[in-house]
Amino acid sequence: MRRAGADCGGAGQGPADALTHSLWLSDAMKMTAKQSMSGVVLPRTSTAYQEEPSAQAVAAPQGYWRAALPRYGVSVLLEKRAVAVNIGLSAALMAACVIKSRNHFPEQVIYDCADSILYLVREDRKALLYALTFLHNEPEWVRHAVRVAAQMADIMLIRDAHSTQVREVMVGTLLHTMGKPLLVSEELPSLKSNMTPRQKTLLKQHPNVLWDKLVSLNWKPSPVCKDILLNANERLDGSGYPSGLKGPQLSENVILLSVIKIINKLTYERNGIKPRTPLDAYRLVSDSYQSYDKATLVEFMQCYGLYPIGSLAKFSGCFLAWIIDIDSKGMPVKVNVVKNLAFMDTNIDSILDAGDFSQIGRLEGVVDPNDYVVKFLKL
Q: What is the 3-state secondary structure (H, E, C) of 38-81?
A: CCCCCCCCCCCCECCCCCCCCCCCCCEEEEEECCCCEEEEEEHH
Does an H or E element contain 226, and which?
helix 223-231
pLDDT in tens, 51-86: 333 333 333 334 443 333 333 333 333 454 555 555
Distances (CA, A) of 233 to 96, 118, 146, 174, 208: 19, 23, 16, 14, 11
- Quote the percentage of the chain above a pLDDT of 90: 46
**CA separation for the pair 244, 235 (Å, rounded):** 7
Sequence-distant (6+) residues with CB within 8 A of 34 are 119
Structure confidence by residue, pLDDT tens digits, 163-173:
999 999 999 99
pLDDT of residue 284: 96
Q: Phi-psi region for residue 80, left (φ > 0), alpha (ψ -120 to 50) or beta?
A: alpha
Q: For residue 308, is the peptide bond before it cis, meaning its omega torsion is within 30 degrees of 0?
A: no
Distance of CA 93 to the CA centre of its chain: 13
Mean pLDDT of 132-146: 78
Please give the backbone phi and psi of residue 145, each rounded to the nearest 5 degrees, phi first: -65, -45
**pTM assigned to the model:** 0.77
